[in-house]
Structures are given as C-alpha cells and as structure tokens.
C-alpha cells in the first residue's frame, strides 16, 4: 500500500513540471523566439529537428547561430556523423534523458523544431512492441524506386485505411514505416498508436506553432537560401557529399539539389531555385501536419515583428 501512495504522489508532482514546444515551418524564426522565451522562463532548448542532429551540416540544416547558443543552453544539436542512421526511437530516448536532466535542475525544457513526427512521439509516446523489419523496409524502398509513391500508398490503404487517411500519399517515409509496422506485428499502425503513452501522461505540455502570412514566409525562405550560399553552403555540401550519407541525412533539403549541380545537370542558379521551391513545399507540409493537432496554440507573427515581442506574447499565455 505505501508504495502505491508514493507512486500517486510522484505522478502529481511530475504533472506540475512544464514542457514547452515551439514548432512551426522552416524559416519562420523558431530558434530565436525559443531562445528568448527560454531566457525569460529559466529554460533550456532541446532541438526537435531531424536534420540538426547531424554534425558537419551546420549551414545546410540552418543550425542555430553561436549567439543563440551562448544566450541559452541548447541540446541535441550536431551529435552524430551524417553517415549514421537516426530514427524517432533513438531521438525519443535521447530527448527523454534531456528532459530529466533539465527538470532535475529546476529548469524548463523548451523543445524547438519543425519535425512533427518527433513532436508527436514525445507528447503521445511510442509503442513498445518490436515493430521493425529492416529486410522488409529495404524491399519497400526498392518498390518505391521501381513503382513509385502511389503503389505503396495503395498498399497502405488496403492494410491500414485509418493511417492512410492521416499520412500524405507523397510522405514515403511514413507510408513505408506504417507498412513495416503491419508486416512486423500483424497489427496496423493506427491500432498501436492508441496504446501509446507519452509526456502528456506525466507533464504539463504547452505547444505553440508560429505562423505568418504565406507570402511573407516564402520571402523569408528565399532570403535564407541566399544567405546559406553566402555563408559557404557549396563548400560544406562538397565536403558532405564525399561521404556515403545515411538515408536519413540524405533527405536534408539541399543534398539532392546540389548533387545535381555538382554532376553538371544544371547550373548554380537552378540549384538555388530548386532549394527554394522544395523548402517552400516542406514548409507547407509542416503547417499541414501541425494543423491536425488541436492541442497546439497558433501564434501569428508579423513579418517585421521583433523576436522579443513574439516571445513575450507566448510568455503571457504561459503566465
């Protein structure tokens, strides 16, 4: 009996611990806002970006500048080489460690990033059953190359229509993951998701998504790509592409676009144009993902709005 009482007390105490998420589309200025907010509330930043985990890719992944990292402590940035695979399970394991470390110091974890899947598995949890089948996954990727995205999506609709409704037909990684789960367990991904337990069960979660006028956001994205080239993107990309990149690292926007330039398929101006187009498309997908989560509070940002003002508005909501 005493053990049960102690467990309940611990759960009540932990539920008062806050975890903040600052999410949104690429290029909107999440890093600066999160750092300003973390400084106000006594927090530390934990990256929630699937590409910023790779070291040696600082420019292509738009790693937060040193000025922000000096302003407030950051975690899970530039940790592994781009030759290494990294998945949501590995991310969750590292993120949970950081949460315990940060809350143990009496500080607030402030997650910042635009990888919706990482946000989801942290808040809602990940299923514990063994759901990986690397051989089947490899076959699915071969089928993707041979038959295209629609072929795999039709397969998913047959075995797990509920998951298919939530996953975009062109999001091949998630389609393949759902098919892999079904193959490995005989149970659809949508069924496993109902059994998950995440941070929501033990912590007070507040999530905010930054948004702005679409034309203004696209203008920011274009300026950011131009700035990346000025900062030495070509030199960094040449160095990265000398190595055999992992499949996950190879998805970074700029890798395929600059590979085509280096291979002489088109000029530098076209490479830049493709990067801008694909970044805009990615931003649109991010916004679509976050709109599905009704727990997220949307923060509309003016194009010329000072970072301190945006962070101040979020801070007032938290207060």
pLDDT at 12: 44
Confidence of residue 128 (pLDDT cuts 50, 70, 90): low
pLDDT at 1: 36
| Domain ranges within the chain, ordered by starting residue | 11-126+198-318, 134-193
Q: Smallest Cα–Cα separation from 91: which of 46, 27, 24?
A: 46
- Given a cut of 90, whether residue 277 has pLDDT beyond it is yes
Look up the CATH number of domain 134-193: 1.10.20.140
Give residues with Cβ within 8 angstroms of 266, minimum separation 6: 260
- Given a cut of 80, whether residue 9 has pLDDT beyond it is no
Give the tens place of pLDDT for each residue, 252-265: 999 999 999 999 99
Matching fold, domains 11-126+198-318 and 134-193: no
Which is more confidently placed, 188 or 272?
A: 272
Look up the CATH number of domain 11-126+198-318: 3.40.50.300
Confidence of residue 167 (pLDDT cuts 50, 70, 90): confident
pLDDT at 13: 43
pLDDT at 15: 57
Which is more confidently placed, 247 or 59?
A: 59
Confidence of residue 129 (pLDDT cuts 50, 70, 90): low
**What number is the average pLDDT over the span 232-241?**
97
**DSSP assignment of 227-268:** HHHHTTHHHHHHHHHTS---TTGGGSTTHHHHHHHHTTSS-H
């Amino acid at each position: 009996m005493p053990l049960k009482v102690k467990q309940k007390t611990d759960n009540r105490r932990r539920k008062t611990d806050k975890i903040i998420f600052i999410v949104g589309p690429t290029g909107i200025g999440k890093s600066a806002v999160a750092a300003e907010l973390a400084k106000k509330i006594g927090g530390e930043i934990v990256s929630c970006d699937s590409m910023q985990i790779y070291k040696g890719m600082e420019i292509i992944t738009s790693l937060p500048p040193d000025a922000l990292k000096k302003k407030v402590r950051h975690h899970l940035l530039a940790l592994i080489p781009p030759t290494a695979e990294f998945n949501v399970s590995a991310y969750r394991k590292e993120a949970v460690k950081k949460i315990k470390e940060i809350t143990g110091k009496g500080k607030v974890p402030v997650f910042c990033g635009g990888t919706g899947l990482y946000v989801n598995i942290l808040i809602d949890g990940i299923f514990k059953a063994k759901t990986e089948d690397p051989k089947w996954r490899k076959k699915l990727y071969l089928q993707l190359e041979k038959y295209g995205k629609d072929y795999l999506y039709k397969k998913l609709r047959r075995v797990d229509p509920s998951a298919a409704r939530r996953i975009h037909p062109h999001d091949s990684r998630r389609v393949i993951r759902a098919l892999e789960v079904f193959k490995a367990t005989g149970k659809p991904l949508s069924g496993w998701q109902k059994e998950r337990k995440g941070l929501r069960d033990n912590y007070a979660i507040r999530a905010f998504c930054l948004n702005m006028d679409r034309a203004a956001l696209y203008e920011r994205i274009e300026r950011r790509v131009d700035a990346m080239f000025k900062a030495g993107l070509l030199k960094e990309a040449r160095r990265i592409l000398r190595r055999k990149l992992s499949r996950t690292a190879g998805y970074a926007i700029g890798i395929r676009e600059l590979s085509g330039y280096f291979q002489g398929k088109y000029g530098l101006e076209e490479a830049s144009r493709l990067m801008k187009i694909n970044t805009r498309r990615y931003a649109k997908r991010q916004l679509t993902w976050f709109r599905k989560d009704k727990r997220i509070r949307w923060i509309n940002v003016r194009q010329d709005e000072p970072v301190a003002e945006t962070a101040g508005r979020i801070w007032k909501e938290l207060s």
